[in-house]
Amino acid sequence: MGIFKRLGDVFRANINDMISKAENPEKMLNQMVMDMQGHLIESKKSVASAIADEKRLERQMKEHLTQAQDWEKKAMLAVNAGKDDLAKEALLRKQEYSGLASQYKEQWQAQHASVTKLKESLRMLQNKIEEARRKKNLLVARAKRAEAQQQIQKTMGGLSDTSAFEVFDRMEAKVDKIEAEADAMAEIEDFTADSDLEEQFKQLESGDTSADLMLEELKQKMGQIEDKSGEKSAEE
């Protein structure tokens, strides 16, 4: 169980270090999950090694039990042959291997109990990492929403500043002035064009036509042309 206590200490140290650095939440959480995954891999290796030790102890226990059984059979064979001294030697060997088998059995049982707890702790660690990964996704989503809301509030705060609207007011007044000047210029050009046209018509209606009429009347008076009735003037 010391493995997982050390892992807990490492996780807490990493978390405190990341928080103290005030890193980006998403990067920090991703790094934490990666670190946890790395420690999980190391924990799996440690548990696998413990399981290997358990199997080795079990195998040695069974081997010594087999040896004890073999020496017992040899002792029985010696008794049947009437060789009690040889039977005693075989029984002593059986006792030796039986004792060793008992010792290995105790170690194997203790290792088996330890491995069972390690496996359970490993499952718990895997579940915790899966939970951390889910929480990480939720926290990242919350962090992004908070950042977006913060940006919106910052933008709204800038718009609430009266100086920003004063710029819009000045630009609007400037545009109004330009439009008014353009309208005035257009009106002046239209007025000038109308005045020139009216003057041309006045000249046609007055100036040169009155002189022609006076010349025609003079010629009629002098009898050089007929009047409108077709008769020459009286003087002729």
List of residues 6+ apart from 135 with CB closer than 8 A:
none
Report how far apart, in Å, the C-alpha atoms of 161 and of each of 134, 151, 173 are: 41, 16, 19
List of residues 6+ apart from 176 with CB closer than 8 A:
none
Report how far apart, in Å, the C-alpha atoms of 160 and of each of 25, 146, 157, 171, 173 are: 30, 21, 5, 18, 20
Length of the chain measured in residues: 236
Single-letter code of the amino acid located at 161 = D
Q: Is the pLDDT of residue 235 over 50?
A: no
Summarize pLDDT for 160-204 with one digit per residue, the tens: 556 656 776 788 888 888 888 787 777 776 666 666 666 666 665
End-to-end CA gap in the chain: 154
Token pair of 156 as six digits: 């709204």
Token pair of 93 as six digits: 């060997």
Euclidean distance between CA atoms 124 and 118, whole angstroms: 10
Q: Is the pLDDT of residue 89 over 90?
A: yes
Token pair of 113 as six digits: 């109990």
Euclidean distance between CA atoms 113 and 54, whole angstroms: 9
Euclidean distance between CA atoms 131 and 29, whole angstroms: 13
Q: What's the whole-model pTM score?
A: 0.51
Q: Is the pLDDT of residue 137 over 60?
A: yes
Summarize pLDDT for 94-104 with one digit per residue, the tens: 999 999 999 99
Euclidean distance between CA atoms 13 and 234, whole angstroms: 139
**How do the domains of the chain map onto residue ranges?**
2-160, 170-221
Q: Is the pLDDT of residue 149 over 50?
A: yes
Token pair of 58 as six digits: 């079990």
Euclidean distance between CA atoms 141 and 29, whole angstroms: 12
Token pair of 71 as six digits: 């020496």
Average pLDDT over residues 16-21: 52
Euclidean distance between CA atoms 112 and 92, whole angstroms: 30
